Structure 1
Amino acid sequence: MSHHTRIEHLGKPRVLIIGGGFAGIELAKSLRDVDVQVVLVDRQNYHTFQPLLYQVATAGVEADSIIHPFRKIFNGQDNFYFRMAEVEFIDTANRVVETSIGLIEYDYLVMATGATSNFFGDRAMEEKAISMKSLDDALTLRNTILKNFEQALQIEDDEQLNSLMDYVIVGGGATGVELAGALSELRKHVLPKDYRELNFKEMDIHLIQSGPALLKGMSAEASEKALKFLEDFGVNVWLNRRVKSYDGCTVTLDTGETLITRTLIWAAGVSGAPIKGIQKESILRGDRLKVDIYNRVSGYDNIFAIGDIAAMITEEYPFGHPMLAQPAIQQGEQLGKNLCNIFSGKPLEAFTYDDKGSMATVGRNRAVADLKIFKKEYKTQGFLAWLIWMFIHLISVVGFRNRLVVTVNWLWSYFTYDTGNRLIVGNKQENIPVEETISHKAVV
């Protein structure tokens, strides 16, 4: 497509941001009062609050309460322009980006494309597993879980029944731990009321972690406590195991052990999501872009990368910063300041990451938190950590209405032991067994 996208030229420097995740949003906000034109391109017209995707997947909160339209976020920002498009190629020589709706010129380009699930080259896994990176993924998983139980009601064969009622989660990071905890809460409090004819002692939840501990990157106390909480909840945690293969029904581990499930949730690895046109020398292992201390992509003067896609290699972070919301937000903010420095001819300021700590929730009244306040470390597990987790996630959700809806959902499920969003909507689902696999047709 060779025509230019209709975005008026204002005779000001144009900062083109690709991706409206935490990093892209923060950068666009930080340029609010600057004399530039800010253009944001994203394939969706909304920002997704990714840390709560697992709650959408397990029917804890409504899907639309963790997303917020870009146009609404930037309602009062006159220098902001949004286009919904897929970016296909970057012509760095001519400072033009090719998108699904046409060409967009830029003076400064910022890659904030985030990360995508990394299946380490396993095509079959990619086809059959469910990831947890987007709202679509979360809705797919929610539909799949609920449809599995609807189908289980019609099945007599034990192995078939187990394959529908058992869940395997690959990856013992925050997403995997949070999903395992949420599924075990559904198993205990919610599903037995909905599906009285099924025996939920048959529902197994497996969490597979390749290393010796859960929540890599958090303190030993946090990972041990998370393991204990999950075991208390009846989750089967498999440490030091890797998934070798999955054929849609049988999960084979590198130890030769096998598990049967129709639903494998992939929360194991992520890699950057670079776009064609960036020179190969600038792309590091894990498909992240090599950036300097100012978030400039190596080999370019006017191309920057922030958030998960950016790998700033330092002594402290030999593999780049952790792929989390905090580094992304801080890099977005810092790059905003540095772009202002460029426009006014001032020297750039190096990015330094202010690590505020990390946390994960395992379920009702149980979470683990490693906090850093004024350079001091505080570790807490259990009810207090859970309250802190709730508070921090609540104030981070974009939009007052969304915060209100999430609060109401959380309070409702806390006091009633119920999740109100058990809806099978649309046809997003995975691994639906073919008719022949059902041992008998239902006779109603």
Structure 2
Amino acid sequence: MNVPDTNLPRIIVIGGGFAGISFIKRLKGEKVQIVLFDRHNYHTFQPLLYQVSTGGLEPDSIAYPLRKIFRKHTDFHFRMAEVKHINTKENSISTSVGSLSFDYLVIATGTRTNYFSNENIAHYSMPMKTVPQALNIRSLILQNIEEADRAQSESERRRFLNFVIAGGGPTGVELSGALAEFRKGILENDYPELDEDEMEVHLIEGQDRVLPPMSEQVSKKAQRFLEKLGVKVHLSTLISDYDGTTVTTKDGKTFKTATFIWAAGVTGAPVEGINASAIVEKVNRYKVDHFNKIEDIDNVYALGDIALMTTEDYPKGHPQVAQPAIQQGKRLGKNFKKMLKGEKMEPFKYFDKGTMATVGRNKAVVDIGNLHFGGAIAWFLWMFVHLWFLVGFRNRVITFFNWTYNYINFDKAARLIIRPFKRN
């Protein structure tokens, strides 16, 4: 592989998500060589993917070139490639563009969509983990509305206007709210021949409330917000199948739909080669100690969603959201500085800054410690936090102006079918 030889310690990082970039940023100026691998040449701000899929933002508002993030770092190298295998005995990795040795390896590969072994759902449903997938959803939504506009029968029109989302976590709730607002703000203006009431948004959740990781208080508030927007919420309902036309649940419900979005679960995305005993099979996450080192391997670390660090407060591991990944990346970066100087490393301790989710215009919910609230204040707080953590000043400015425009005009400007979606 064409990476310069070096006498400095070589650190390979797999994954340019929150954890990977937070780790690398802390090593700026250190006498190390860093090689970052990712299948894409950009960092994705995943909390706002749903806005790309519903026409609120263009993808360049939430994506940022990885090379640009680290262009001021010395001896930093990026390779757009897929890492296929890790050899811990020879301290090397095999990728789609060649092999490379390392002194230290940091795995921050995140998660992938979990279909729970249902092949039909994996084939016919729409996942939303990447920018291309979000663009596919956007195209499919708009294509199906166009199909509804020229449908010959009422049943066919309703199938194209029926949107079903599996999973009542933050992604599902935010998608449902955005689609409901699309119906109220866009449909009657752009498609005057369609009846707004014919477009239905169904949110299906297996547990007895939406936003299960959040407090019961804000969960109930979020459900009220959704229902006020016209979303039909189905709780304690498990999906058994989707054949491309009909969603079937285990209790016998059926939903005729041409748009079925799967946001019902994720699983870790480990790389082949690490000893199976180091992986918790049920969740596909590497078992790590309090320094994020993978158990029984001296020079290999895991960060963020792929790392399972159990503590008294988090016996099942930290939540698979941005903040634990960012904080673990920062701490490991600081610990590498200490390690390279021969100093003692400090164990990671997660500081919970709270959880939030938005439902729609002036509607969001927030859990911060003992504070649980929702409404317009929560919504403005949600916007501020997400703008703050976006990578790149340009992205913050563009997103802010898009949100301001949407707020004033009740409009989503990015409702363009740039590349029509066709299922393979």
**Cα distance, 1:427 vs. partner?**
3.3
**Cα distance, 1:200 vs. partner?**
1.8
**Cα distance, 1:379 vs. partner?**
2.0
Deviations 1:309-353 (A, max 9, x none): 001122221211000000000000011111122212222211110
Q: For 1:122 and 1:349, how far apart are their aligned partners in 2?
A: 42
Q: For 1:165 and 1:77, how far apart are their aligned partners in 2?
A: 49
How many residue pairs match? The answer is 423
Q: For 1:121 and 1:158, how far apart are their aligned partners in 2?
A: 34
Corresponding residue SS for 2:270: coil
- Identify the residue that residue 392 of structure 2 maps to in structure 1: 399
CA contact (8 A) 2:140 2:420 kept: no
Equivalent of 1:149 in 145, 148, 167: 145
- Identify the residue that residue 304 of structure 2 maps to in structure 1: 307
Indicate yes or no: 2:381 matched with 1:388: yes
Correspondence list, 1:245-394, <5 A: 245-284=241-280, 285-372=282-369, 377-394=370-387
Deviations 1:218-277 (A, max 9, x none): 111110000000010110000000001111111111111111111111111100000110
Corresponding residue SS for 1:361: strand
Indicate yes or no: 2:16 matched with 1:23: no
Q: For 2:350 and 2:342, how far apart are their aligned partners in 1?
A: 24
Deviations 1:150-179 (A, max 9, x none): 111221222221111101100000000000
Corresponding residue SS for 2:133: helix
Correspondence list, 1:152-191, <5 A: 152-191=148-187
Q: For 1:33 and 1:225, how far apart are their aligned partners in 2?
A: 47
CA contact (8 A) 1:144 1:430 kept: no
Using the size of structure 2 for normalisation, the TM-score is 0.98
- Identify the residue that residue 409 of structure 1 maps to in structure 2: 402
- Identify the residue that residue 62 of structure 1 maps to in structure 2: 58
Q: Give the superposed CA RMSD.
A: 1.0
Q: For 1:74 and 1:427, how far apart are their aligned partners in 2?
A: 34
**Cα distance, 1:430 vs. partner?**
4.5
Q: For 2:172 and 2:60, how far apart are their aligned partners in 1?
A: 22
Q: Which letter does structure 1 place at the counterpart of 2:287?
A: K
Fraction of identical pairs, as percent: 48
Q: For 2:336 and 2:159, how far apart are their aligned partners in 1?
A: 54
Corresponding residue SS for 1:286: coil
**Cα distance, 1:94 vs. partner?**
0.6
Q: Which letter does structure 2 place at the counterpart of 1:228?
A: R
Corresponding residue SS for 1:320: coil
Q: Which letter does structure 1 place at the counterpart of 2:401?
A: V
CA contact (8 A) 1:143 1:429 kept: no
Equivalent of 2:213 in 206, 214, 217: 217
Q: For 2:364 and 2:422, how far apart are their aligned partners in 1?
A: 30
Q: For 2:340 and 2:316, how far apart are their aligned partners in 1?
A: 31
**Cα distance, 1:380 vs. partner?**
1.9
Q: For 1:77 and 1:173, how far apart are their aligned partners in 2?
A: 37
**Cα distance, 1:191 vs. partner?**
2.0
Unaligned runs of 5+ in 1: 432-444
**Cα distance, 1:106 vs. partner?**
0.8
- Identify the residue that residue 439 of structure 1 maps to in structure 2: none
Deviating beyond 3 angstroms after TM superposition, the runs of 4 or more aligned structure 1 residues are 427-431
Indicate yes or no: 2:71 matched with 1:75: yes
Unaligned runs of 5+ in 2: none
Deviations 1:13-43 (A, max 9, x none): 0110000000000001011121111111000
Deviations 1:415-444 (A, max 9, x none): 00111101001233459xxxxxxxxxxxxx
CA contact (8 A) 1:32 1:79 kept: no
Q: For 2:114 and 2:147, how far apart are their aligned partners in 1?
A: 30
- Identify the residue that residue 204 of structure 1 maps to in structure 2: 200
Q: For 2:196 and 2:164, how far apart are their aligned partners in 1?
A: 16
Using the size of structure 1 for normalisation, the TM-score is 0.94
Deviations 1:78-109 (A, max 9, x none): 13111110111111111111001101111100
